[in-house]
Amino acid sequence: QNARYLADYQPYPFILSHTALDFTLVPDATIVRATLSLAPRDAATGVDLVLDGGKDVQLLRLTINGAEADPAHVTRDDEALTIAAAALPSGPFTLETEVQIDPSANTAFEGLYISGGMFCTQCEAEGFRHITFCPDRPDVMATFDVTIHSDKPVLLSNGNPVSQTEGHAEWHDPWPKPAYLFALVAGDLVAISDSFTTLSGRNVALNVWVRPGDEDRAGFAMESLIKSMKWDEDVYGREYDLDVFNIVAVDDFNMGAMENKGLNIFNSKLVLASPETATDLDYERIEGVIAHEYFHNWTGNRITCRDWFQLCLKEGLTVFRDQQFTSDMRSAAVKRIEDVRTLRARQFREDQGPLAHPPRPDHYEEINNFYTATVYEKGAEVIGMLKRLVGDDGYRAALDLYFDRHDGDAATIEDWLKVFEDATGRDLAQFKRWYTDAGTPRLTMREDWAEGTAGGTLTLTFTQETPPTPGQSDKQPRVIPIAVGLIGPNGDEVAPTRVLEMTETEQSFAFDNLGARPVVSALRGFSAPVVLDRQIDDPTRAFLLAHDTDPFARWEAGRDLALSALVALSQGQPGGDDYIDAIGRLIADQDADPAFRALCLALPGEEEVATRLYDLGATPDPDAIHAAREGLARRVAEAHQDLLSEIYDRMVVSGSYSPDAEAAAKRSLRIAALQLLNRIDNGERAEILFGIAGNMTERMAALACLIARGRGQTALQVLEEEFGDNRLVMDKWFTVQPMAAPPADAAAIAAKLAKLPGFDWKNPNRFRALIGGLTANHAGFHAADGAGYDFVADWLMKMDKVNPQIAARMSTAFETWPRYDETRRAKALAALEQIAAIEGLSRNTREMVSRMIA
């Protein structure tokens, strides 16, 4: 009922040209003096000046043009400070405030807070209003001067350093920016430093700041930063624009990282890495997120969003750019498959449930609830489709125009689409539905083969339909690029990839002169974020797995084969023989990329099987799915024991550890083999590997295998003794136990771990580690007795009082509850209703829970 609407947008009635801030940092009594240079946007209209400011900001003094404001003209509520129009000059004026805040009491980690003795900030989306009074909206942009007084040795803010003396630092940011990009850090930090010479020859000082003792784990982050800076110049022609770029690692952080201008703040798990403490996946994520935040300097900072409804303008585009970067740094085929897996697991799940919303929502209650897979990952997919439709040259021309036309702007999705229209001459009115409509389109493909005509004609007829989503019952057809190739009966490609542009509800496309009936390789490269339904049998899937030239479509064929087996088995029917045969041929194919083979060897997760069953109109039974998956994995291991053992023995990476793609690919194949063999060797290989592995990738994989076999205790103890004081490793220790446990034990294990003194639950990483570990165990979280639901609900209620953002985000574990059987549904609903009934529940969690039970 407190929703904000896109349709209500009005520009801010004042122009803020400059913000000067002066901080005297004291943990429980920080003083902030702000000087805002303001002018009415339209001198004729006398409107009140409304400044955002939370109730945690205590106003000490307020002056306008140096004169104390008359209290009769100043009103205050929990969210804002209002100065009556009568008290405001008709031309430009200076407004000064002095406020007091208490960073030591800030457990929500929004605004200025303390992490491990270090002062730091998080202002996106609306955190700046917890620091001082201001127009806290992205379309109000100003240059900044910041002065910091503190006894901490390192004092950082945005922009370029102006002066640094003991206890005092001054920073100037010449680039106008919204308040959400403001940042300040003060702490006992050390830097690893380097430099970068830009395209036009400017020298930029680079620093990665960490706690003393962590320096030897920051090198990979620095390497990743340098690669990102170079890539953005090479691929997008974008140059960095300040004299210094600082990255700071902090332990308490609500999300992954934040792109504050010139001063990126990172969750320490996305900065710190060494072979002994970080996995290959950690390294890949660090590289990707460092790139993502760096790329925001242009797509987010130089061009920002007009309002938060436009969030996907910066996030979708920046995710798309970081995906391109990773494809260039590593294997493009593997990256595409990984991205599609993430999209389906997170965004399709969102689109199919009560939390579905368009990439550009038109209303929200709490913007922090809209940093979602739909805004980020689907936002990126939509850009991928645009690029596919306009071609690489059209995309480059449109992006060049976007940077030229909108540099310094707070832009909208309409602005974004207009540059594509202007640069390519294409009408994107229908394409816009991808931004405004929620839901995943279902595409049905029918094949008609006519032998005599034109030397053999195959006609593909597609129909599209998007199921209703909350608030959107009727959906119009969208433009869907469908990449199709054809494979002849002998396995040769007879028609290379062609992108069919579907614009109608039903549409046919013909392929002539084919001679013999080919097999269709459809939706190559996952050319559109849709669910494709087609009549296809297992032998044809196996054929595509063996012959398709498109790596995504090839992997997809194997995955479909596995899913069809798991669906049958979980419903008590026979299945899996075709899969086992086909996967045997693939494992034996020494020429295939090890990372690709590893992806094909990993069976679909239990939640994925549940989704497929639900798509087919069945009610998923988590226990039956678990048993089916375990059974199939065991049969694969038994059938291919020799091949798998050979892979396991051969895929050893010699020499010292390197996180590069090639070495990581070998390890991933070795681990995929281990995970299958673990079903028949009772954890013997895993035990040996855990003891001898010199890297965390193999140790964690081995540990998970041991836990799954009920013999993880010794290894867990060893890890704890070795790394008890390493937060990031201990997070893994907390996650893996409920995640890899047999489902029946998972909730009890999580409950036991929650009682340990090491469960520092106010730390977002530790909370996510344990609660997320349980919710990642599909049959464990959805245990029929409701123990998983109750445990998670109890902790969400506790966390909500301390950190609403984290509670609200983690509540999405419940978003699939309507899929399950009546008993589970009743238990999940009871848990959600218990949360909803809490008095004083945060706006964040209230919005999420009420959408889930609506």
Closer residue to ligand HT7 in complex, CB, 292/330: 292
Query: Shortest approach of ligand HT7 to residue 321 CB, angstroms?
Result: 11
Token couple for 392: 């690489």
How many whole angstroms separate alpha carbon 700 and alpha carbon 800? 31
Query: Shortest approach of Zn ion to residue 147 CB, angstroms?
Result: 29
From the list 137, 271, 257, 121, the residue with the least C-alpha distance to 208 is: 271
121 strand-pairing partners = 112
How many whole angstroms separate alpha carbon 678 and alpha carbon 702? 9
Residue 69: HSE in the Cβ half-sphere, 13 Å Cα cutoff: 27
203 strand-pairing partners = 197
Residue 166 bears catalytic tag:
no
How many whole angstroms separate alpha carbon 381 and alpha carbon 599? 21
**Are residues 266 and 257 in contact, defined by beta-carbon separation less than 8 angstroms?**
yes
Q: What is the DSSP letter of 305?
A: E
Task: Indicate which of ligand HT7, Zn ion, none lies near residue 371 (CB less than 5 to 8 Å, by partner kind).
Answer: ligand HT7
| Dihedral angle of Cα 455, 456, 461, 462, to the nearest 10 degrees | -90
Residues of this chain that interact with ligand HT7 (CB under 6 A) are 122, 124-125, 254-255, 257-259, 292-293, 296, 315, 371
Closer residue to Zn ion in complex, CB, 315/366: 315
Residue type, 597: R
How many whole angstroms separate alpha carbon 348 and alpha carbon 356? 9
Query: Shortest approach of ligand HT7 to residue 254 CB, angstroms?
Result: 4
Closer residue to Zn ion in complex, CB, 30/412: 412
Closer residue to ligand HT7 in complex, CB, 83/120: 120
Query: Shortest approach of ligand HT7 to residue 382 CB, angstroms?
Result: 16
How many whole angstroms separate alpha carbon 251 and alpha carbon 771? 18
Residue with smallest beta-carbon separation from ligand HT7 = 255
How many whole angstroms separate alpha carbon 468 and alpha carbon 476? 11
Look up tokens 């294997």; give the residue: 331
Query: Shortest approach of ligand HT7 to residue 251 CB, angstroms?
Result: 13
Task: Indicate which of Zn ion, ligand HT7, none lies near residue 254 (CB less than 5 to 8 Å, by partner kind).
Answer: ligand HT7
Task: Indicate which of Zn ion, ligand HT7, none lies near residue 125 (CB less than 5 to 8 Å, by partner kind).
Answer: ligand HT7
Scanning residues 288 to 347, which ones bind Zn ion (CB under 5 A)?
315, 318
Residue type, 116: G
Strands laid side by side in the 154-157 sheet: 111-115, 118-122, 184-187, 154-157
Closer residue to Zn ion in complex, CB, 315/621: 315
Scanning residues 260 to 289, which ones bind Zn ion (CB under 5 A)?
none
Q: 9 vs 308, 367, 477, 537, CA distance in Å?
A: 11, 15, 28, 52
Query: Shortest approach of ligand HT7 to residue 232 CB, angstroms?
Result: 15
Q: Which class for 132: exposed (0-12), middle (13-18), buried (19 or more C-beta within 10 A)?
A: buried
Token couple for 487: 């494979």
Closer residue to Zn ion in complex, CB, 318/844: 318
Closer residue to ligand HT7 in complex, CB, 107/645: 107
Query: Shortest approach of ligand HT7 to residue 768 CB, angstroms?
Result: 13
Q: 633 vs 562, 588, 605, 626, 802, CA distance in Å?
A: 10, 17, 11, 11, 42
Closer residue to ligand HT7 in complex, CB, 253/781: 253
Q: What is the DSSP letter of 469?
A: B
Query: Shortest approach of ligand HT7 to residue 326 CB, angstroms?
Result: 15
How many whole angstroms separate alpha carbon 754 and alpha carbon 788? 13
How many whole angstroms separate alpha carbon 133 and alpha carbon 137? 12
Query: Shortest approach of ligand HT7 to residue 368 CB, angstroms?
Result: 6
Task: Indicate which of Zn ion, ligand HT7, none lies near residue 124 (CB less than 5 to 8 Å, by partner kind).
Answer: ligand HT7
Marked catalytic residue, from 259, 293, 606, 698: 293
Closer residue to ligand HT7 in complex, CB, 253/416: 253
Tell me whether the omega of the peptide bond preceding residue 125 falls within 30 degrees of 0, making it cis.
Answer: yes
Quote the distance between the C-alpha of residue 667 and its chain's center. 25
Task: Indicate which of Zn ion, ligand HT7, none lies near residue 614 (CB less than 5 to 8 Å, by partner kind).
Answer: none
Q: 26 vs 98, 102, 130, 150, 248, CA distance in Å?
A: 15, 8, 16, 8, 20
Task: Indicate which of ligand HT7, Zn ion, none lies near residue 255 (CB less than 5 to 8 Å, by partner kind).
Answer: ligand HT7
Task: Indicate which of Zn ion, ligand HT7, none lies near residue 246 (CB less than 5 to 8 Å, by partner kind).
Answer: none
Query: Shortest approach of Zn ion to residue 288 CB, angstroms?
Result: 11
Task: Indicate which of ligand HT7, Zn ion, none lies near residue 122 (CB less than 5 to 8 Å, by partner kind).
Answer: ligand HT7
Look up tokens 């051969």; give the residue: 650
Closer residue to ligand HT7 in complex, CB, 12/371: 371
Write phi, then psi, for 617 (nearest 5 degrees): 90, 10
Quote the distance between the C-alpha of residue 149 and its chain's center. 36
Residues lying near Zn ion in the complex (CB under 5 A) are found at 315, 318
Which residues are part of the catalytic machinery? 293
